Amino acid sequence: MQLEEYINLDGIALAEHIAQKKIRASELIELTFKQLDRVNPHLNVLAYDMRTQALEAAQQFDKTFKGVVSSPLAGIPLLIKDLLTDIAGTPTGSGSRLLKDKYSPGDADLTQSYRAGGLILAGKTTTPEWGLQPFTESDAYGDTPNPWDLTRTCGGSSGGSAAAVAARIVPIAHASDGGGSIRIPASNCGLVGLKPSRGRVSNGPMIEGWQGMVCQHAVTRTVRDSAAMLDIAAQHTPQAVELYACPAPPVGGFLAHLDQPLPRQLIGYSLTPLMGGKVEPAIKQGFEHSLTLLENLGHKVVDVSRLMNQFFASSDEFCDTMLVILAAEMAHLKRTLQQRLGRKIKAHDVELSSWALMIYGEHLSAGELFDARTTMLAQVQAAQDIMRQYAVLMTPTLSSLPAKLGALRPGFLETQMLDVFVAKLKLEGVLNHSPFVKLTSRKIMQYVGFTMPFNMSGQPAISVPLYWHSEKKRRLPIGMQFIAGHGQELLLLQLAHELEQAYPWAQHIPTGLANILN
C-alpha cells in the first residue's frame, strides 16, 4: 500500500486490508508515522510519541493474527488524547507542563477496551491545559493549528486528535467532551464527532468528570468508523463505576444497524445559542443549506427556538452554572495535585487562566456548587420534555467560523490583571467580588453556546460537516449538530450516515495543509 492510498481510506477499510492479508499491521503503522513526519512540523498534533511501542504492538499483532478479528478496526493505528485516558508507562500530561513527565502506572478502562478491540496505540495528541478551552494552545506544547487554515484554531479540547485525523495521519483518534470538546474540533476540522450519552462509555478509574458532564469517544472521517469505535468503547469493564443508567447498545452493535432504513424524522431546529452570543452569516448560510438537505431527504423540520428557550435555562444561568462547576472542579484538581506531588501548587506551575479558576473555585461556597449542580440536573428534565415532542434537535455546532489562533485566549489587559492581582499581589479574593472572571469566561461560553447545554442534559449529540465556507482561497468546514434522547446514539448515527450518503464529505482534503505540501 502506498501512502496516497493509506490517507484516503477510513479505519474499517484499512482493517479489511489487514484481515484479507493485503497488508500487515506493522506496515500500516509505518505509513502512519510517515504521514506524521510529513505533516506534523506544520500542525504540532503530538504530545507524546509512542512509535516504538506502536511498532512492537503491531509486530506482535502480525505474529498472533490468525484471520479472526476482535473488532472491525483490529490492527489499525489510534491516537489518544493526552487527557483522562491513561496508557500504562506513558505520561498523561493533560496539556500542562506540571504533569508533562508524570507517567501513568496502568491503563484506563477505555484503554483496555481499545487494546481488546485490536487497536494499535500510536501516540498522544495535544490538548489545552486540563481540557478547559475550545482551542488547542498551551504553554506546555504550543499551538495546534487547523489543517484547513493554518492561521486558525483546530478547536478544542480534542484539537490535536481532530487535526491529526483531518490531516490523514490516522483515520480515527480518541477524544473527550465536557462542553463540546469532541464536537467543536470536529466542526472546525470537517469531521464526524459524536458525544455519547452520559454513562455510555466508562471514564474509569475516574468516577466522573465535571459533575458528570465529561464523556469520551472519538473523532473520525466517516460515520461507520464512529459506530465501530462506539461498539468497542461501550464495553462494560470491571472497573467501571455506573453512576448513570444508560440503555444497552442495540443487539449486534451500532455498526450492524447503520444501514437499516431510517424512518422520516420530525426534527426541531434552532439558530438561537442557548448560552448567548450571535451567529455569524457564514454559519447561517450553512444552516439553511443543511435544512434544505434534510427536507430533500423527506424529513420534517420545525423551528423550536422558543420552545428550547422555554424549557432550558437562560443564557445567564447556563454561563454562571458552568463557571461554578469548572471553578469547583479546578479547586478540587489543585488539592488532588498537591496530594499527588507532595507540595503546594503555585501560580507559576500552571497557566494564569487555570490558576484564576482554581482560586475562584476555592472561594466558592458549598451552596453555590449545590445550586449549580441543581441547575445542571434540571436540564436533564428539560431535555426529556422536549424530546417527547421531537425525535431529533438540530443546531449549528458553533456560532462562528474557526477563530484565529490566539483570538480566544485572554488579552493583554486581562493577562496583566491576572498576573498582578492573583500571581503577584495574591489578592485572590478580588476575583469572586469583581466581574472579571465572569466577563472573560463569558466570551468562551458564548463560543460554545450550542454544545455545552447538552453536556448538562447528558444527551448524545453529533457534529457532521455539511457545509464548506470559501474564504480567500481557503475552504472552512462548518459542522451541524444533531441531538437525540438519552441512549439514542443509534438514531444519530443512522441519520448522520444517511446525510453522509447524500452529501459525502470524507474525500475533502484540507486546503491549508494541501497548499503547504504541494
Residue 208 domain flag: yes
pLDDT by residue for the chain (518 residues), tens only, comes to 999 999 999 999 999 999 999 999 999 999 999 999 999 999 999 999 999 999 999 999 999 998 889 999 999 999 999 999 999 999 999 999 999 888 999 999 999 999 999 999 999 999 999 999 999 999 999 999 999 999 999 999 999 999 999 999 999 999 999 999 999 999 999 999 999 999 999 998 887 889 999 999 999 999 999 999 999 999 865 554 456 778 889 999 999 999 999 999 999 999 999 999 999 999 999 999 999 999 999 999 999 999 999 999 999 999 999 999 999 999 999 999 999 999 999 888 999 889 889 988 999 999 999 999 999 999 999 999 999 999 999 999 999 999 999 999 877 666 666 666 665 656 566 566 566 677 778 889 999 889 999 999 999 999 999 999 998 778 999 999 999 999 999 999 999 999 999 999 999 999 888 877 77
**For the chain, how many structural domains are there in total?**
1
Grid coordinates representing 193 are 464527532
Q: Where are the alpha helices (DSSP H) in 11-72?
A: 11-19, 25-43, 51-64
Contact between 5 and 13 under an 8 Å Cβ cutoff? The reply is no
How much is the pLDDT for 178? Answer: 97
Estimate to the nearest angstrom the gap between the alpha carbon of 26 and the chain centroid: 28
Give CA–CA dist 298/276, Å, rounded. Answer: 31
The residue type at 130: W
Residue 320 domain flag: no
Q: Is 400 exposed, middle or buried (0-12, 13-18, 19+ CB in 10 A)?
A: middle
Residue 373 domain flag: no
Residue 498 domain flag: yes
SS3 5: helix
Q: In this structure, what CATH number is given to the domain that contains residue 154?
A: 3.90.1300.10
Residue 372 domain flag: no
Residue 238 domain flag: yes
Q: Where are the alpha helices (DSSP H) in 420-518?
A: 436-447, 453-457, 489-502, 511-517
Residue 131 domain flag: yes
Among all residues, which ones are annotated catalytic?
Answer: 81, 157, 181
Q: Which residues form the domain of 467?
A: 3-268+461-517
Which pTM does this prediction carry?
0.96
How much is the pLDDT for 429? Answer: 60
Residue 412 domain flag: no
Give the contacts of 98 (CB within 8 A, at least 6 positions apart).
337, 341, 345, 349, 350
Give CA–CA dist 169/102, Å, rounded. Answer: 26
Give, as one character, the DSSP assignment of residue 451. Answer: T
CA max distance for the chain: 66
